[in-house]
Amino acid sequence: MSNKILIIADHLDGSLNESTARAVACAQQMSPTGIDVLVLAEDGASVAAEAAQIEGVSRVLQADNAANAHPMAALLTPQIVAAAQQGEYSHVLGPNTTFGKDLMPRVAAKLGVAMVTDIMSVHSAHEFDRPIYAGNAVITVGAPTDQVLVASVRCASYPAAPGGNSAEIETLSLDAELPGHTRFVNLEQASSDRPDLQTAPKVISGGRGVGSEENFKVIYDLADKIGAAVGASRAAVDAGYVPNDMQVGQTGKIISPELYMCFGISGAIQHLAGIKDAQTIVAINKDEEAPIFEVADIGLVGDLFKIIPELEEKIG
Amino acid sequence: MKVLVSVKRAIDYNVRIQIKPDGSGVVENGVKHSMNPFDEIAVEQAMRWKEAGTAEEVVAVTIGPDAAKEQLRSALAFGCDRAIHIKTDEPVQPLTAARVFEAIAQKEEPKVFMMGKQAIDDDSNQTGQMTSALLEWPQATFASEIELSGETAKVTREIDAGLETLEVDLPAVITADLRLNEPRYLKLPDIMKAKKKPIEDMSLDDLGVEAAARLETLKTTPPPTREAGVRVESVDELVAKLKEKGLV
Ligand SMILES: Cc1cc2nc3c(=O)[nH]c(=O)nc-3n(C[C@H](O)[C@H](O)[C@H](O)COP(=O)(O)OP(=O)(O)OC[C@H]3O[C@@H](n4cnc5c(N)ncnc54)[C@H](O)[C@@H]3O)c2cc1C
Ligand SMILES: Nc1ncnc2c1ncn2[C@@H]1O[C@H](COP(=O)(O)O)[C@@H](O)[C@H]1O
């Protein structure tokens, strides 16, 4: 059986999310005969041009529709189902960003097939590892080979496929009836000039130990000093110190930076689930028994409010 | 307005998972189970609608073994009016669960089907989306705020880019994220009262639901572990280590 793979592009404001290139890297391990990227947008030209550069991509399919101005699963799904059937794909993949998490199960159900969430490693085109119990166990699953495989890719497990390609871009017209029952109202984006949490090589995080929204300034200042993105524990988000899109963990963002440095975070399993793929974890906590020290590559016991100023000064 | 809410029995989130030495799964016997935390939030939301007079009836539904009755009793103690137990001893995967929920929704005709955004055992994050797809209903996943008004709901969703608001026509499937609310503590009198509330038993056959093709679990293994590294005693030492690794 040939493995013809369709990847749904995740994009925002005319630019491609790096998660798409990570999904391509995963797809390359499935002995593909072809990898096509589907761009569903109002005007997908710039996104398609970016996708065409990803190494490993055979074709980019651009399906413009005013209804795609804001990605809504209920409207995208009929288009993806049409594209999947038209192109006779064996696999339909998306990234495990909130876009992919929302969308891919709806696609699977419409195709009447099971779905694999969070592929973290590929054994063959139908056999994968995925995490369960917040990453505290890994299962190897075999998917039926006689039906389309729908899956999401755990982005933290794959580095983005590099650029340098110039795949063909085709416009696609999809014959699909779109429902009117779901309408976009607005998107409140936390505007920030800092690097993106999901792709930044360095991340500085704060937890409940930071104590307040005002105190979080010390975390931002340190992050700016070393060019890092800023993350947080759920406790810090719940307490209102920072917005929700900064949450790292099982139910927040799962990240794999080169450096993860956290202050005043105890290291609950749900938080650790989000940082296990970081190359170097540095933990600063005043409690020497904090579980974060069990996974930290470098640990320092102490008061974050004393340590951060000293750190800033000595990093130079 | 009627609200349906799904409730899954899962190993309690505080339990440290043990993997069976032969790789056949995780140890479940003798381990504390409770209601999936996201489902508690879904139930709490339904209760708030009931208390506000927005919902007249709230029905809890679970798919699982006999022991899952415990979680239905908790849902009833929260204040759900009645419960439906679809009994099966087989683990149920999301597409099959969605087919069951589709059948139940067609029978019960709720205006809102509240679910958790994900079950913390399989971490699939699929069932709500699949259920709404099968029903051809709108879906609003990862809800952190829901405003119901007659025939529509305005739902704020927690997404990677920030907070998105959608408006959906009812009936709809809405899945709860952590910040939707904080579930109440159950009080003894409510737990006692729950014992008298009705639970209806059903099977997949009764509903005419056929189990979907499954993903086969071939083995269960521990995740790659991270070894604890070094403890440093001072900021100077920390900075030296970071510089050594080329990280600052
Ligand atoms: C279903 C579910 C999903 C969840 N998902 C997530 C998730 O995605 N991400 C997540 O993070 N959590 C998640 N949680 C919550 C998680 O269980 C913990 O409650 C949370 O991670 C704790 O955050 P924290 O470490 O900031 O707070 P705490 O556990 O309260 O720890 C605060 C730490 O700060 C230290 N401290 C205090 N003051 C100072 C100081 N001055 N200097 C240095 N150290 C100091 C303390 O010693 C302590 O270790 C989830 C929970 C559930 C039930
Ligand atoms: N067997 C089940 N019984 C009751 N609810 C379930 C079951 N399976 C899934 N659900 C619901 O679907 C949500 C998402 O589950 P999942 O797709 O497995 O992550 C859960 O939070 C539950 O509300």
The residue written with tokens 């004393």 in the block is: A306
Which CATH topology does A3-171 take?
Rossmann fold (3.40.50)
Where in chain A are the domains? 3-171, 202-315
pLDDT digit string, tens, across residues A253-269: 999 999 999 999 999 99
pLDDT digit string, tens, across residues B145-182: 999 998 999 999 999 999 999 999 999 999 999 999 99
CA atoms within 13 Å, Cβ hemisphere of B232? 18
Is A315 or B32 the better-scoring residue by pLDDT?
B32
Positions in chain B whose pLDDT score sits under 50: none
Question: Which CATH code of 3.40.50.1220, 3.40.50.720, 3.40.50.10540, 3.40.1580.10 fits the domain covering A202-315?
Answer: 3.40.50.1220
Contact A181 B228 (CB under 8 A): no
**φ, ψ of residue A142 in degrees (nearest 5):** -105, 125
Choose which residue among A204, A212, A234 to substitute to test ligand 1 binding: the one with the highest number of ligand atoms within 8 A of its C-beta.
A234
Contact A179 B138 (CB under 8 A): yes
Contact A141 B247 (CB under 8 A): no
Confidence category of residue A250, pLDDT binned at 50, 70, 90: confident
Q: Which residues of chain B have a CB within 8 Å of the CB of A310?
A: 235
CA distance readout (Å), B212 to A108, A117, B215: 12, 16, 10
Model pLDDT, residue B227: 83
Question: Domains (ranges, CATH) in chain B?
Answer: 2-220 (3.40.50.620)
pLDDT reading at A251 higher than 90: no
Contact B163 A244 (CB under 8 A): yes
From the list A72, A186, A198, which residue is nearest B160 (CB)? Answer: A198
Q: What is the share, in percent, of chain A residues with pLDDT greater than 70?
A: 100
- Tell me how many degrees the CA angle A191-A196-A198 measures, rounded to the nearest 5: 130
Residue of B nearest to A252 (CA): B160
Q: Is B240 on the interface with A (CB under 8 A)?
A: no
pLDDT reading at A1 higher than 70: no
Cβ count within 10 A of residue A273: 21
Taking the CA of residue B157 and the nearest CA in chain A, the distance in Å comes to 9
Q: Which residues of chain A have a CB within 8 Å of the CB of B36?
A: none
Q: Considering only residues 238 to 277 of chain A, which have any Cβ-Cβ distance to chain B shorter than 8 Å? A: 238, 243-245, 250-251, 253, 258-259, 269-270, 276
Q: Which residues lie below 8 Å from residue A217, measured CB to CB, with a gap of 6+?
A: none
Q: How far apart are CA B63 and CA B95, in angstroms?
A: 13
Residues with CB under 6 Å of ligand 1 are: A 207-209, 233-236, 247-252, 264-266, 268, 270-271, 274, 284-287, 290, 303-305; B 13, 37, 120
Residue pairs spanning A and B at CB distance below 8 A: 251
Residues in binding site of A: 208, 233-234, 247-251, 264-271, 285
Residue ID of nearest Cα to ligand 1 atom 31 = A266
The answer to whether the beta carbons of residues B96 and B90 sit under 8 Å apart is no
For chain A, what is the mean pLDDT? 96
pLDDT digit string, tens, across residues A46-59: 999 999 999 999 99
The answer to whether the beta carbons of residues A236 and A210 sit under 8 Å apart is yes
Q: Which residues of chain A have a CB within 8 Å of the CB of B131?
A: 109
Which pair of structure tokens corresponds to residue B39?
A: 């489902």
Confidence category of residue A190, pLDDT binned at 50, 70, 90: confident
pLDDT reading at A87 higher than 70: yes
> Closest-lying ligand to the alpha carbon of B96?
2
Choose which residue among A198, A266, A304 to substitute to test ligand 1 binding: the one with the highest number of ligand atoms within 8 A of its C-beta.
A266
Q: Which amino acid is at B192?
A: M
A212-227 burial, b at 16+ Cβ within 10 Å, e below that, comes to: eeeebebbbebbeebe
Contact A297 B230 (CB under 8 A): yes
Give the N- to C-terminal CA distance of chain B in Å, as an integer: 58
Q: Which residues lie below 8 Å from residue B188, measured CB to CB, with a gap of 6+?
A: none
Q: Which residues lie below 8 Å from residue A218, measured CB to CB, with a gap of 6+?
A: A210, A304, A305, A308, A309
